């Protein structure tokens, strides 16, 4: 049975490795993976971890050990995946607006390739013909996802090849004899309503009728996890059974079995991650009480970039009286994590915990203000392992070339 990390464990990790620190809990990742496996057990389904959410090599190795495959959006992620031990066939490369040379590198490495642009499709077809199978990323123009910035299926989106360009895709496939092995879509992140997936699946079936020898349909991701108390999680069990039914029905007509692929990022690693920071100062102004912590959007940018809500707990004083705070960072830029947040009384030196920090947390961090990127710790079988050292001063100068 999975049990989340308790405050004492997190405090001792922060004491041992310093703060701010990202802490990942392996067993929580496993729990999420097994939930997906079970929910879709009615039909052959593969899960490609969208590793841009969190690419620490230990996380990649751990997720591989669970049996997952991996989705990469950059050739360097492909290389990291190979280094973590994934086989080329377990790797799906889903780039956007990259140079054709990057696609060629992926082809040489032998990984599955998703093509999301007519011009690339044409170049690839001219070069490889039927010699290297491809998957085509379709933009179904479904509006979905928690925030416009994380929706990718809308009409103004740069992702995918529009369903309205089907004739053009067909022309290229016919002329170059490309072997289309799969169709892909990814409409966005944080989809609460499973009907969005089912609606997308119907569109994919319509597309599939144009390609007689598909092996899979890839529905991308968008699985939502709860960020706020009472937030829903995508109901993967209902989705799993409805999807199984729909695919079986389509297979009868299509006369082939079709694997279903998904690319969960957030779903696997978001809740497994905790970000522990320290309250540097309590600052009473005429308008509010600020808690200034030893971090900022240089370490966790989701609240400022996506208006994301992260639950915050005072793990040093969990029974303190509830007070209202505005939680801000220490960088010279307005970096507000949360306005008007009720927290157990915060004293200078207390550790605060940001929940759901596993996905797009460390991964989007930077050295803005010449601050160090935080350390990362993995807790597995009750033991805490340092999996990335905090930056040190020399890291700030590492790639700089002093000419003066
Ligand atoms: C980012 C991304 C995902 C993962 O999205 P989550 O919301 O983190 O699950 C999946 N597929 C592609 C192509 C992506 O770019």
CA of 263 to the centre of ligand 1 (A): 6
Q: 214 and 189 in contact (C-beta within 8 Å)?
A: no
Residue closest by Cα to atom 1 of ligand 1? 50
Q: Is ligand 1 within 6 A of the CB of residue 270? A: no
135 is catalytic: no
The mean pLDDT of 77-89, rounded to a whole number, is: 98
Q: Is ligand 1 within 6 A of the CB of residue 329? A: no
User: What atom of ligand 1 comes closest to residue 360's alpha carbon?
Assistant: 8
Alpha-carbon distances of 86 from 81, 112, 209, 332, rounded to whole Å: 6, 12, 32, 41
Q: Per residue in 159-195, is it b (16+ CB within 10 Å) or e — as a string?
A: bbbebebeeebeebbeebebbbbbbbbbbbbbbbebe
Tens digits of residue pLDDT in 236-277 = 999 999 999 999 999 999 999 999 999 999 999 999 999 999
User: What atom of ligand 1 comes closest to residue 190's alpha carbon?
Assistant: 7
pLDDT, averaged across the chain: 94
pLDDT tier for residue 98 given thresholds of 50, 70 and 90: very high
Q: Is ligand 1 within 6 A of the CB of residue 71? A: yes
Q: 179 and 130 in contact (C-beta within 8 Å)?
A: yes
Residue closest by Cα to atom 15 of ligand 1? 73
Q: Is ligand 1 within 6 A of the CB of residue 159? A: no
What pLDDT shows up at residue 147?
57
Q: What are the tokens at 146?
A: 């928690």
Instruction: Report which of 315, 385, 298 is spatially closest to residue 354, judged by C-alpha positions.
Output: 315
pLDDT tier for residue 233 given thresholds of 50, 70 and 90: confident
Domain boundaries, the chain: 40-265, 273-397
CA of 50 to the centre of ligand 1 (A): 5
pTM greater than 0.85 = yes
Q: Is ligand 1 within 6 A of the CB of residue 221? A: yes
Report the CATH fold assignment for 40-265. TIM Barrel (3.20.20)
Q: 208 and 214 in contact (C-beta within 8 Å)?
A: yes
Which CATH architecture fits 273-397?
Answer: Beta Barrel (2.40)
């Amino acid at each position: 049975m999975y049990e989340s990390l308790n405050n004492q464990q997190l405090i001792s990790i922060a004491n041992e490795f310093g703060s701010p620190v990202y802490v990942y809990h392996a067993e929580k990742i496993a729990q999420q993976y097994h939930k997906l496996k079970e929910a879709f057990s009615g039909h052959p389904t593969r899960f490609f971890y969208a590793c841009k959410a969190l690419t620490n090599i230990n996380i990649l190795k751990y997720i591989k050990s669970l049996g997952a495959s991996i989705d990469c959006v950059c050739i360097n992620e492909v290389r990291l995946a190979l280094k973590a031990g994934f086989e080329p066939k377990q790797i799906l490369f889903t780039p956007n607006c990259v140079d054709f040379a990057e696609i060629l590198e992926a082809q040489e490495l032998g990984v599955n390739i998703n093509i999301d642009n007519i011009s690339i499709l044409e170049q690839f077809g001219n070069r490889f013909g039927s010699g290297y199978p491809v998957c085509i990323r379709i933009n179904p123009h479904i509006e979905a996802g928690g925030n416009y910035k994380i929706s990718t299926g809308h009409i103004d989106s740069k992702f995918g090849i529009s369903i309205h360009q089907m004739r053009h895709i067909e022309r290229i496939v016919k002329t170059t004899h490309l072997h289309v092995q799969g169709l892909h879509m990814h409409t966005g992140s944080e989809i609460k309503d499973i009907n969005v997936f089912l609606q997308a699946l119907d569109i994919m079936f319509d597309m599939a009728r144009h390609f007689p020898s598909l092996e899979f349909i890839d529905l991308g991701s968008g699985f939502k996890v709860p960020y706020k108390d009472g937030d829903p999680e995508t109901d993967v069990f209902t989705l799993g059974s409805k999807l199984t039914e729909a695919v079986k029905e389509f297979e009868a007509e299509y006369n082939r079995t079709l694997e279903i692929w998904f690319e969960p990022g957030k779903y696997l690693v978001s809740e497994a991650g905790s970000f522990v920071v320290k309250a540097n100062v309590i600052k009473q102004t005429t308008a509010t009480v600020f808690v200034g912590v030893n971090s900022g959007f240089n370490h966790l940018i989701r609240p400022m970039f996506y208006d994301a809500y992260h639950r915050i707990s005072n793990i040093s004083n969990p029974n303190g009286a509830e007070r209202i705070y505005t939680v801000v960072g220490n960088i010279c830029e307005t970096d507000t994590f949360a306005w008007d947040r009720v927290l157990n009384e915060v004293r200078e030196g207390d550790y605060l915990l940001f929940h759901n920090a596993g996905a797009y947390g460390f991964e989007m961090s930077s050295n803005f203000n010449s601050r160090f990127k935080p350390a990362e710790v993995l807790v597995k079988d009750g033991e805490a392992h340092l999996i990335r050292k905090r930056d040190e001063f020399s890291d700030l100068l590492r790639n700089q070339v002093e000419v003066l």
